[in-house]
Amino acid sequence: MPYVTVKMLEGRTEEQKRALIEKVTEAVTETTGASAEKVVVFIEDIQKNSYGTNGKLYSDQ
Amino acid sequence: MPYVTVKMLEGRTEEQKRALIEKVTEAVTETTGASAEKVVVFIEDIQKNSYGTNGKLYSDQ
Amino acid sequence: MPYVTVKMLEGRTEEQKRALIEKVTEAVTETTGASAEKVVVFIEDIQKNSYGTNGKLYSDQ
Amino acid sequence: MPYVTVKMLEGRTEEQKRALIEKVTEAVTETTGASAEKVVVFIEDIQKNSYGTNGKLYSDQ
Amino acid sequence: MPYVTVKMLEGRTEEQKRALIEKVTEAVTETTGASAEKVVVFIEDIQKNSYGTNGKLYSDQ
Amino acid sequence: MPYVTVKMLEGRTEEQKRALIEKVTEAVTETTGASAEKVVVFIEDIQKNSYGTNGKLYSDQ
């Protein structure tokens, strides 16, 4: 605890995910006082053909 | 905002997903007053071998 | 199945929630072929002091 | 209802998922009084390169 | 890990929640081999006026 | 997009939530290249009597 979920468009590299987990964990520990070993981060991919805004599929925009 | 997530069994076509996003967005704007460009829709697949009811895996039913 | 979750800002009336569930269910049945009695809708409130975009708390914007 | 989601590391066999759904459903019916046919279980895979604790990607630990 | 979320209708007692967490944890450890101290359980309340099936608000059914 | 959800124990102050949203947004923009106005952060409270690890309710530990 805390548990952080980041949903973002598919296609990020492993290097970006590694950096994201590191930096988000720092942001959470700094601002909440939680220790880093308690912070859990999940990254979930959003697929372009399964996501939309303004009534339109992202892959059509 | 609003953010809508639709979890459904895998296997829908892109055409069905396109129509789903269009119609769900209309339903949300009509009933909440939110403007369409603020409505976000995520579609998440449920896999038949990772889902169950009545204590049984869906793919066994 | 399908399972629909709508996250939106707190403060909608029961009448709006009733209409939202009715219309979203119609949108889902029309476009996916699922029968209405299989469609489940959850409405989750987002609190203004627990939500932000652009790095800012919504209640500060 | 109830709706149970189990997020766990990818790589479980279908046999483990079958047993998990059976046993979790029993645990829920015993303790809440819900009937088994109302209990829905979703299993979601966590990928090793999309998950981290202590600021580190799981696949690096 | 694993992370289990149980969404159920509001109104369960603390005693039911305590039993639910105990029994669900046992079900998960038995079937996945995870150790109990790694199993995390979240219970989320569903409110009767924010939930519906068959196009109808639960509190109207 | 991205959409970030932070689940943490109830009881954080508004000031902590404000700082959390600011710092998490920075962490996400730095590491993914997303612009800040696209980053959405939700904070969800975990209640002590609705959460457990090791088979035990948090409020009993």
ipTM score here?
0.96
Confidence (pLDDT) at C61:
85
Bridge pairing between strands F40-46 and C51-53: antiparallel
| Angle between the N-to-C axes of helices B14-32 and C14-32, in degrees from 0 to 180, rounded to the nearest 10 | 160
What is the spatial distance between Cα C44 and Cα F34, in angstroms, rounded to a whole number?
26
| Angle between the N-to-C axes of helices D14-32 and E14-32, in degrees from 0 to 180, rounded to the nearest 10 | 160
Confidence (pLDDT) at B49:
93
Residues 6+ apart with CB under 8 A from B55: D21, D22, D25, D26, D36, D39
Residue numbers in chain A where pLDDT is lower than 50: none
Q: What are phi and psi of C44, to 5 degrees?
A: -120, 130
Residue B4 in 3-state DSSP?
strand
Confidence (pLDDT) at F43:
98
Confidence (pLDDT) at A61:
85
Which structure tokens are listed for E4?
A: 């289990």
- Options B1, B2, B29, B44, the catalytic residue: B2
Q: What are phi and psi of F30, to 5 degrees?
A: -60, -40
Contact between B57 and D18 using a beta-carbon 8 Å cutoff: yes
Higher local confidence (pLDDT), B7 or B1: B7
Nearest to B52 by CA among E33, A45, E48, D26: D26
Give, for all 61 residues of chain C, the pLDDT tens digit: 899 999 999 999 999 999 999 999 999 999 999 999 999 999 999 999 999 999 999 999 8
Q: Which residues of C are catalytic?
A: 2
Residues 6+ apart with CB under 8 A from C14: E49, E57, E59
pLDDT-based confidence at residue E54 (cuts at 50, 70, 90): very high
Question: Is residue D56's pLDDT more than 90?
Answer: yes
Across E15-31, average pLDDT: 98
**D56 labelled catalytic:** no
Which residues in chain A have Cβ-Cβ distances shorter than 8 Å to D10?
none
Contact between D25 and B60 using a beta-carbon 8 Å cutoff: no
Angle, vertex CA C20, rays to CA E60 and CA F50, nearest 5: 70
Confidence (pLDDT) at C1:
84
Yes or no: say if D42 and E6 are a contact pair by the CB < 8 Å rule.
Answer: no
Contact between F51 and E44 using a beta-carbon 8 Å cutoff: no
**Residue A54 structural domain:** 3-60
Among C22, C39, C42, select the one facing E50 at the smallest CB separation.
C42
Question: Per residue, what are the HEC states of chain F?
Answer: CCEEEEEEECCCCHHHHHHHHHHHHHHHHHHHCCCHHHCEEEEEEECHHHEEECCEEHHHC
Mean pLDDT of the residues in chain B: 96
Confidence (pLDDT) at B1:
85
Which residues in chain E have Cβ-Cβ distances shorter than 8 Å to F55?
21-22, 25-26, 36, 39
For F3-53, write each residue's pLDDT tens digit: 999 999 999 999 999 999 999 999 999 999 999 999 999 999 999 999 999
How many alpha carbons lie under 13 Å from residue B43 in its C-beta half-sphere? 32
Cα dihedral: F2, E51, E44, D10 (round 10):
-50
For D6-42, write each residue's pLDDT tens digit: 999 999 999 999 999 999 999 999 999 999 999 999 9
Sort residue B9 into left (φ over 0), alpha (ψ -120 to 50) or beta.
beta
Confidence (pLDDT) at D61:
85
What is the spatial distance between Cα E17 and Cα C21, in angstroms, rounded to a whole number?
28
Which structure tokens are listed for E11?
A: 């109104």
Q: What are phi and psi of C15, to 5 degrees?
A: -60, -40
What is the spatial distance between Cα B22 and Cα B26, in angstroms, rounded to a whole number?
6
What is the CATH number for D20? 3.30.429.10
Residue C15 in 3-state DSSP?
helix
Residue F60 lies in a domain: no
Confidence (pLDDT) at E61:
85
pLDDT above 70 covers a percentage of chain E that reads 100
pLDDT-based confidence at residue D43 (cuts at 50, 70, 90): very high
Confidence (pLDDT) at E1:
85
Which residues in chain D have Cβ-Cβ distances shorter than 8 Å to E19?
30-31
Which structure tokens are listed for A8?
A: 């973002």
| Chains A and B in direct contact, meaning 3 or more beta-carbon pairs closer than 8 angstroms | yes
Confidence (pLDDT) at F1:
85
Confidence (pLDDT) at B61:
85
Confidence (pLDDT) at D38:
96
Strand ranges of the sheet holding B56-57, from the earlier edge strand across to the other edge:
B56-57, B51-53, D40-46, D3-9, E3-9, E40-46, F51-53, F56-57
Confidence (pLDDT) at E37:
97
Model's pTM, two decimal places? Answer: 0.97
Yes or no: say if E4 and E24 are a contact pair by the CB < 8 Å rule.
Answer: yes
| Structural domains counted in chain B | 1
Confidence (pLDDT) at C35:
97
Question: Is residue E12's pLDDT more than 90?
Answer: yes
What is the spatial distance between Cα B3 and Cα C15, in angstroms, rounded to a whole number?
19
Higher local confidence (pLDDT), B36 or F1: B36
Across E33-53, average pLDDT: 96
Q: B interface toward A at CB cutoff 8 Å?
A: 14, 17-18, 21-22, 25-26, 36-37, 39-45
Which residues in chain E have Cβ-Cβ distances shorter than 8 Å to A38?
none
Q: What are phi and psi of F37, to 5 degrees?
A: -70, -10
